[in-house]
Amino acid sequence: MRKGLHEDLAAVVIGLAAVLLALAVTWQARPAEEPGSRALHPKGWATPLAKTVGKPGTWSDQPLAAFQDGSGEWKLQPILLGMGWVGLVGGLGVVLGGRGLGAYLPGAAVLVMLACLAYLLAGQKTVKYYNLSYPLWALMVGLLVSNAAGVPRWLAPAVLGEFFIKTGLVVFGAEVLVGRLLALGLPGLMTSWIVTPIVLVTTYLLGVRLLRIPSKSLCMTLAADMSVCGVSAAIATAGACRAKKEELSLAIGLSLFFTVIMMVAMPPVISALGLDPLVGGAWLGGTIDATGAVVAAGETLGKEAGEVAATVKMIQNSMIGLIAFAVAAYWAGWVDREAAGPRGSLLGEIWQRFPRFILGFLAASLVCSWLHTRGPEQALWVEGATGGFTKPLRGWLFCTGFVCMGLQTNFRQLAPVLASGRPVVLYVLGQSLNLALTLAMASLTFGWLFRKAVE
Amino acid sequence: MRQSGSPARDVLRLAAGLAIVAIVWGGLLPRLLDWGPVARHIELMEARGVDPSAIYYTELERLPLRPAWVEDRLVLWP
């Protein structure tokens, strides 16, 4: 973006506009009958915007089934409209950035088709039910095109990977509801708030000091991915510490690989250890990176363990905003400041270097969190607006962003670090610490300290 | 970003890559669905309404709100 708005600011403007649009349209269509009833509206108020943003669904052996609904009817329109939203967001970004749309449009059409292909690959049942989610396949599609055929000149102007990710992150903020932190009271808070920051900071320091990985941003992205909640935390933290595309790709790849192993291996280990479902569920929720994989592993153990695991992971999910803010402030005030040499007051420099789109992400999160706590009607309003529109929209934006990252990724830059195997060692060390500390804390809080005596 | 090189060679390499994707997604992965451990895992997940590919809790089929039974077993806010 040469003239016009800075890319970060454009992402904030467009992202917040999408959130406001979702809230406004959902409010306009609010139900007349018992709008505060969760029994009547279990997923929040239905929003008309939901029909404008669909994605390919699940399929077994017939890929075309991904474009049909449960009754076999074609659902091409919402999918095409979903692709249209991505094209529109990118186009608005280009215009706000002061560039012409002419060069962007042909590439954008192909880019959204590649994102659709990534969703299609992620929708195959074997892949889907083993947690190999769309970011991995979006990266792979981008890598396949760039490595096999290169990126044609006409496609390059639409490859706005960072912009799509940043805008997706601002939109994503609407789903990060701070109130969810209290879902399991003090035991849940202690498991998340004590263990997660300790593991995050220790893993980062292990990478920088002990393993001497040259890139601090790689260490931070890996640490957040592993200690908080996988892909979504990696995206937010990578933005906060301005990690390279290759570093985010590596963190996500490593995380998904280990997540599949942990999802399959941990339930039998918990059964063998004879852990209580509450403790076992909390252990799963606090350690397995990806949210879906946590629930899958928990449900393998039983309903109770599955519910506790999912709730603990949701509490960790809700920490993303605070973690991203803390990392961005630390990076701006210490890491970048140290590298460039102090030039003014600490607060002034933090403000100057702070990534603006993180502020947009936090603004969306705080506004929706505040609305969500106002009452049952407002809670269902926010859940309907986010579930029906902002959630699938940010999915498309992330998916397209990852395709772009695959197109732009140059793994040669990371080759020396990768060859040393140090990122893998860092992940294993950090995850081992996470497993030990979370088990200790879950046993303390869920197994003893807050246990009711009646049992 | 690697720019396009020789058109014929690029098309050939892209076609080869797509062929591999088609073989894996069109043949190998669907066959895995019938393999015992995979089939059992998917059956359980479908029966419980779990989407293991969710990257955030809002993508789950059921929102993990506080389970009712937890308050009978734990002191949540002393």
Alpha helices in A44-133 (DSSP H): 76-96, 104-122, 125-128
pLDDT of residue A337: 85
Q: Is A6 helix (H, G, I), strand (E, B) or coil?
A: coil
Which residue in chain B is spatially nearest to A159 when comparing CA positions? Answer: B1
How is chain B split into domains, by residue range? 1-49
To the nearest whole Å, the CA of B34 is away from the closest chain A CA by: 10
How large is the average pLDDT for residues A305-316? 90
Residues A208 and A155 in one domain: no
Residues A223 and A162 in one domain: no
The pLDDT confidence band at residue B78, using thresholds 50, 70 and 90, is: low
Residue A201 to residues A195, A221, A222, B36, Cα–Cα distance (Å) = 10, 11, 11, 41
pLDDT tens digits along A258-295: 999 999 999 999 999 999 988 999 999 999 998 999 99
| Domain total of chain A | 2
d(CA A208, CA A201): 11
Alpha helices in chain B (DSSP H): 7-23, 29-32, 36-48, 70-73
Q: Is A73 helix (H, G, I), strand (E, B) or coil?
A: coil
Round the average pLDDT of chain B to a whole number and report it.
87
Residues A397 and A307 in one domain: no
A125/B42 touch (CB, cutoff 8 Å), yes or no: yes
pLDDT tens digits along A23-71: 999 999 999 989 989 899 989 999 999 999 999 999 999 999 999 988 8
pLDDT of residue A80: 97
At residue B1, does pLDDT exceed 80?
no
To the nearest whole Å, the CA of A317 is away from the closest chain B CA by: 7
Q: Length of chain B, please? A: 78
A124/B41 touch (CB, cutoff 8 Å), yes or no: no
Q: Is B3 helix (H, G, I), strand (E, B) or coil?
A: strand
Residues A124 and A212 in one domain: no
Higher pLDDT, A137 or B1: A137
How large is the average pLDDT for residues A207-213? 95
pLDDT of residue A338: 84
Q: Above pLDDT 90, what percent of chain B? A: 50
A293/B52 touch (CB, cutoff 8 Å), yes or no: yes
The pLDDT confidence band at residue B42, using thresholds 50, 70 and 90, is: very high
Residues A295 and A190 in one domain: yes
Tokens of A98: 């002061």
Contact A307, A281 (CB under 8 A): yes
Contact A298, A306 (CB under 8 A): yes
d(CA A392, CA A390): 6
Range of the domain at A300: 178-317+421-455
The pLDDT confidence band at residue B64, using thresholds 50, 70 and 90, is: confident
Higher pLDDT, A307 or A202: A202
pLDDT tens digits along A340-367: 887 788 888 888 888 999 999 999 999 9
How large is the average pLDDT for residues B10-37? 94
Comparing A173-177, A340-344, A386-390, which segment has the lowest mean pLDDT?
A340-344
Minimal Cβ distance to B75: which of A310, A391, A450 = A450
Minimal Cβ distance to A121: which of B25, B58, B73 = B25
Residues A47 and A78 in one domain: yes
d(CA A303, CA A307): 6
At residue B60, does pLDDT exceed 60?
yes
Residues A36 and A182 in one domain: no
B14/A295 touch (CB, cutoff 8 Å), yes or no: no
> Does residue A337 lie within any of the structural domains?
no
pLDDT of residue A1: 46
How large is the average pLDDT for residues A229-250? 91
pLDDT of residue A195: 94
**The Cα angle at residue A223 between residues A314 and A316, in degrees rounded to 5:** 10
Residues A47 and A143 in one domain: yes
Residues A85 and A127 in one domain: yes
pLDDT of residue B5: 64
Residues A277 and A380 in one domain: no
ipTM reported for the complex, 2 dp: 0.90
Residues A302 and A193 in one domain: yes
Which residue in chain A is spatially nearest to B51 when comparing CA positions? Answer: A292
Q: Please name the amino acid found at residue A311.
A: T
Which residue from A113, A89, A139 is spatially nearest to A248, judged by alpha carbons?
A: A139
Bridge partners for A451 per DSSP: B74
Minimal Cβ distance to A307: which of B64, B74, B76 = B64
> Does residue A312 lie within any of the structural domains?
yes
Interface with chain B: mutation pick from A191, A231, A291, highest number of B CBs within 10 Å: A291
pLDDT of residue A188: 87
C-alpha B51: how far from its chain's center? Answer: 8
pLDDT tens digits along A63-108: 999 999 888 899 999 999 999 999 999 999 999 999 989 999 999 9
Interface with chain B: mutation pick from A47, A110, A314, A455, highest number of B CBs within 10 Å: A314
Q: Above pLDDT 90, what percent of chain A? A: 73
Contact A309, A336 (CB under 8 A): no
Residues A92 and A108 in one domain: yes
At residue A454, does pLDDT exceed 70?
no
Which residue from A155, A160, A170, A152 is spatially nearest to A1, judged by alpha carbons?
A: A160
